């Protein structure tokens, strides 16, 4: 047999063995070796690189929690939680948390019982308050409805308090849960507690059911809870707020109430649903108050989510 034919026969035999029994060799049957320290370190570096990329767009509190989760004593935990004061100490932190200057960037539609209300935030920005509170969010908005009735005024009471509103919102306390998922570290769920003060107005030109100009003052708390999906395509949320309201006599007249509460009243609202790709928030909401007949049945709500600034310091 010639050397050429011999080489061809040997090559064909080797190829046949590999195709018919690719794992049949003694070498392939050996157990897979555990990852070496070097391989584990490479994986850790990849996770930290992902962390650094996320820190560029996350608010300061979440970024600090992510940094804590990467420490050696926490690296073996499947999830890691942080909680504490949510004081925003710089304009960069406030920009990551709230977003920057926005004009017409928040639009919320509430629909139910053949009536709908549309809230538009005309302008909002961040403002330093005092050293103990840090930065706050200040905004002005307007609310319009598709009809002009006392019931619409009740809807406005829960949608923003009136057809014109100015507010100050300050974050107070935060809880963030971090998960180590494969080669990445990412936020899993969070809850924020904040304080809100608002001045609200009823303007006759924007609602024919409002006979006289009126105003009210609101002060209360708000809890925002968020559950992230693996890719952040979905974010499940719940928003609960409640507080104290005191208005002028005309404010209660516009709500068709005969008795004016001497010390004001209490109100609460619950909204739950899902954020779609961080662009649209769809949910259902309901409102309650201690005022007679001033309650809001379950309604569909749709909101366009503002896109937060991602700039650096």
Percent of the chain beyond pLDDT 70? 66
For helices 37-55 and 60-69, the axis angle rounded to 10 degrees is 170
- Res 142: pLDDT: 81
- Given pLDDT bands bounded at 50, 70 and 90, which one contains residue 294? confident
Q: What is the pLDDT of residues 144-168, one digit of tens each?
A: 766 656 666 777 778 766 778 899 9
Q: What is the pLDDT of residues 186-225, one digit of tens each?
A: 788 999 999 999 998 877 766 666 667 888 999 999 999 9
Where are the chain's structural domains?
Answer: 1-32, 45-304
- The residues, any chain, with a CB within 8 Å of residue 70's CB and separated by 6 or more, are 47, 48, 51, 185
Q: Which of 164-173, 210-219, 236-245 has the lowest mean pLDDT?
A: 210-219
Q: Which of 25-34, 115-124, 152-161, 204-213 has the lowest mean pLDDT?
A: 25-34
Tokens of 290: 């201690």
Q: What is the pLDDT of residues 126-149, one digit of tens each?
A: 999 998 889 999 998 887 766 656
- Res 122: pLDDT: 82
- Res 58: pLDDT: 62
Percent of the chain beyond pLDDT 90? 24
- Count how many residues are written for the chain: 313
Tokens of 308: 């937060």
Whole-model pTM: value is: 0.72
Q: Which of 60-74, 86-100, 264-278 has the lowest mean pLDDT?
A: 60-74
- The residues, any chain, with a CB within 8 Å of residue 282's CB and separated by 6 or more, are 273, 274, 276, 300, 301, 302
- Res 206: pLDDT: 66
Contact call for residues 306 and 290 (beta carbons, < 8 A): no
- Given pLDDT bands bounded at 50, 70 and 90, which one contains residue 88? confident
């Amino acid at each position: 047999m010639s050397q050429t034919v011999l080489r061809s026969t040997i090559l064909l035999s080797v190829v046949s063995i590999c195709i018919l029994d690719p794992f049949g060799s003694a070498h392939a049957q050996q157990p897979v070796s555990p990852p070496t320290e070097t391989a584990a370190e490479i994986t850790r570096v990849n996770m930290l690189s992902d962390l650094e990329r996320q820190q560029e767009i996350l608010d300061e509190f979440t970024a600090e929690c992510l940094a804590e989760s990467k420490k050696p004593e926490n690296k073996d935990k499947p999830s890691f939680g942080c909680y504490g004061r949510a004081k925003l100490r710089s304009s960069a932190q406030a920009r990551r948390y709230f977003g920057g200057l926005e004009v017409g960037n928040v639009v919320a539609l509430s629909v139910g019982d053949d009536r709908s209300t549309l809230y538009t935030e005309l302008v909002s920005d961040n403002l330093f308050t005092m050293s103990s509170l840090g930065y706050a969010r200040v905004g002005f908005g307007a609310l319009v409805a598709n009809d002009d009735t006392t019931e619409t005024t009740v809807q406005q009471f829960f949608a923003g308090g009136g057809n014109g509103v100015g507010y100050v919102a300050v974050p107070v306390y935060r809880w963030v849960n971090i998960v180590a998922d494969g080669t990445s570290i990412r936020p899993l769920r969070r809850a924020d507690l904040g304080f809100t003060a608002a001045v609200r107005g009823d303007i006759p030109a924007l609602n024919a059911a409002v006979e006289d100009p009126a105003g009210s003052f609101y002060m209360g708390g708000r809890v925002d809870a968020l559950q992230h999906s693996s890719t952040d395509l979905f974010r499940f949320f719940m928003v609960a707020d409640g507080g104290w309201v005191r208005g002028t006599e005309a404010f209660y007249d516009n709500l068709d109430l005969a008795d004016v509460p001497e010390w004001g009243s209490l109100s609460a609202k619950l909204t739950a649903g899902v954020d779609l790709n961080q662009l649209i928030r769809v949910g259902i909401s309901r409102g309650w108050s201690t005022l007679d007949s001033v309650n809001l049945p379950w309604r569909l709500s749709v909101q366009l989510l503002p896109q937060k600034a991602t700039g650096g310091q």
